[in-house]
Structure 1
Amino acid sequence: MKRLNINSMANMSRVYKKTCSNGKLAIYLGKRDFVDHVDMVDPIDGVVLVDPDYLKGRKMFVMLTCAFRYGHDDLDVIGLTFRKDLYVQVQQVFPPEPTSTQGPLTVLQERLLQKLGDNAYPFTLQMVVNLPCSVTLQPGPEDAGKACGIDFEVKSFCAENLEEKISKRDSVRLVVRKVQFAPLEPGPGPCAQTIRHFLLSSQPLQLQAWMDREVHYHGKPISVNVSINNCTNKVIKKIKISVDQITDVVLYSLDKYTKTVFIQEFTETIAANSNFSKSFAVTPLLAANCQKQGLALDGKLKHGDTNLASSTILHSSLQPGMNKELLGILVSYKHPRRPDHQRCWCGAAPDPDASKAIT
């Protein structure tokens, strides 16, 4: 894949280009990250360049696929399916279908068509809402090949019809990502409290934990406020703060995986029949969890960095009877709290991504 710069007056746009192995077909995109705004998703607009001698009267298609990969490529050799297509959208780019309506061209498409000439054809793909975001499950140290998770792919090929088998050499594929950003108007910070009774103590211990805001960003400290009313005759010696990532794989078995992405003990002595209040700064990072197999990460592009997966924001139109397989993988964060006479457990609910956030 190559990156091109298109100059127009004083403006410069970066374009991603991918060419098939035979060099006869190329696809151009202005970006590879497409934002899910919950009620709509950014359209995928691009251009396909084809050698007219290679086309030879055939049709040219562009296909968008959302797939869940849950095995390795070598499983396909023994007849096992290692991926499931959750969503497929196909557009016939050339010749255009009589019933199709071509919307207005984007600025990127106009510039590309002007630069590439008559053998370039524009396309626009529109994802439906409620598709999962790009998520990768972190492989183990011994795992090889592509990681399990949700990925999106834009593919272009020439064929007589869609039933024709297309080899990888005769098609061009470009992986893209579907991402979610923080809401423009975040809600109040989460708050939780619990009461714990102890043997031989007539009064309970009251613990409250809260955060000042709902949205937190990757690499930035999260302020966790802790308030303890220790009415017992016990002495609290430590406070442990942890952050758990919960991954729901709703596709095949409703599996739920919990991974601790941050845990730290703070030495704080809280005498019996006393009050305590303090703010703690915690920062969950992928760098501290890079060896944990199965940890959910934001889907990464080839040779690209990633981070802990963002919390999934679902559309309000979800119904109890809908096909939840389309949701693929759901990610959330929680804060367990288990105080006792030795330790007090509490936590935060962050989304450690520099551009995405938790609800």
Structure 2
Amino acid sequence: MNFSNNTADIAGNAIYSEKLFDSNCYMINRMKSITLYNKIFQNVLPTDIVSYANDIVIHDNDQSYNAYPGALINIPISINDSNRHHTYGVLTVSAAERKDYMLNSIDWFINGKQNTYTIIIKGTSHRTNVSLTIYTTHLSKGSKTGILLFSISNPSKIVEREITLKKCPPGFELDPSKGACVCSTSFKRFVSKYSNGRILECDINNVTFTRPYRYLWAGLGQNNSLHYSCSCPPGYCNIHSHHDTLKFNGTTSFLISSKTGDPKRLCYGSRTGDLCGECIPNHSVVFGSIMCLTCNDKEWMVSSVIYILAGPLLVFLLYLLKLTLAMGTLNSIIFYAQITNAGIAGYLMIPCHDCGKCFHILAKP
């Protein structure tokens, strides 16, 4: 048997034959048989000799998966022969729902508007990452559990994995026309209105949002509801320009750079809560400042004494200098300090090209 310039177009550089398995070479002289075998397979590794596929192996410790509609799932899979060597095969993926020990159809679509998805698994030395995206037109109970069926034919073999299609996360909503989680309409409209027409973009794979402008604040409440504001009070939020992506982790909001990947909390210092207006546990606002620092019993006593004495001293100073709060330079200074502390830049005519016509509006859809 002689092969000249052999190529295999479908499954790599290999020769396929139906007669290479369950065959024997009969020779009277055993030494000649060994010599012939070594000559034929001298440049062939044991894993290069394969036959028909008869098993599906999922190289993943997870027995179940969780995903959002429209999000990508990567599952490492190989098709093996009877010797556990990777081989060529046609893999079919379908979805079903188990009820009363029976498999029923489910209103899910795989990688588009199709009930089944077929992929050719090549018999390489490495496993194949099968990328799946599941779509659905509705989630009646918020989340739904189904079964992914991986199958090959001749011989018939089926492997299943449980998968839960979760309700869209805060800031996203299910678009029935696409069958996927997209940006929340109210959130997107709000950002566009208060950012001079800039568009909010969402990534369901990473559950992140673009940051159309630096002063946008968004976070999750205690009941996992989304709150957002077109502007954050100065000194309360991190407004670094290179952090262009927003991500939620529990009740904490993070900023992420799409170029460097470094994360940073949206709230500055030890702040948290809506509009970063609270201090984290065991911290308190420092008198005369917006910083949140660790509480200390001794410092608290000293601060209380100073605060108690400051009131009468201020009144005595006003009486001594014959000043009133209704007129003069002192009134202007106090008014300016109050407006600045409130963070309303528009009243002071401070230019802010990122703010749009925006004050501290907190929306809770």
TM-score for both structures, normalised by structure 1: 0.26
TM-score for both structures, normalised by structure 2: 0.26
Which structure's CA Rg is the greater one? Answer: 2
**Structure holding more helix per residue:** 2
Structure having greater relative contact order (Cα 8 Å, sep ≥ 6): 1
**Structure holding more strand per residue:** 1
